[in-house]
Amino acid sequence: AAVLGDARPWSNVEPDQLNLLPGTDGLARVVFRPPRSAAVPAGTVPFAVRAMSQEDPDGSTIEEGAVEVSPFSDVRAVLVPGTARARRRARYRLVIENEGNTPVHAAVSVADPDLLLEFRVKPETLVAQPGTATFVRLYAAPKKRFLKGPDRTLPFQALLQADDCAPASVNGAVVQEQILPRWLLPALAIAAVAA
């Protein structure tokens, strides 16, 4: 006996051969083991089982059926880059990987603990298809700027909330630089000395 159709790679018949005398019958079990992978979508998968006689190959029979593959979720979020340097606005990409076998409807939000940043997210809601990566643009801008001084690191957290999934969060940071370019003050001092 053999399984035919899309379920064939992850199914088998136990036992795969039966020795039967004429007029008798036997029992074989079809076992389905779909992999936990986006390659096998959730839902109904039709299949067929072919039983063939070695003595009478023309006397084979085919029975059809369907197996229900249960949905599962596996969503991950990665921020690229994790830390960005900026004077006015830092740009990031939030990569949402759906390793599950069903589409995921999700919303993205961003917050910083000290309320020192403003954020813009495009898009704020999305549908991530199974086995795909979806890209979200994220912009972070410091609320206050400074002309001169040491760099400031401003941490934040991006949160992905999806249906039927635990929330996924990823940490990031903006390294805020002074507004004036670092070379400007030494150049002005040299120009003043030269004048």
DSSP 72-91: ---EEEEEESSEEEESS-EE
Secondary element (H or E) of residue 186: helix 184-194
Q: In what order do the strands lie in the sheet with 168-176?
A: 83-86, 168-176, 152-162, 104-111, 125-128
Amino acid at 22: P
Secondary element (H or E) of residue 193: helix 184-194
The model carries a pTM of 0.75
Dihedrals phi, psi of 178, to nearest 5 degrees: -65, 155
Q: What is the pLDDT along the chain (195 residues), one digit of tens a residue?
A: 789 999 999 999 998 888 878 788 888 899 999 999 999 999 999 999 988 877 777 778 889 999 999 999 899 999 999 999 988 899 999 999 999 999 999 999 999 999 999 999 999 999 999 999 999 999 999 999 887 888 999 999 999 998 878 888 999 999 998 876 665 556 666 766 776
- CB neighbour list of residue 164: distance below 8 Å, 6 or more residues apart: 71, 73, 104
- CB neighbour list of residue 168: distance below 8 Å, 6 or more residues apart: 75, 76, 77, 159, 160, 162
| Dist. CA 123–CA 153, nearest whole Å | 26
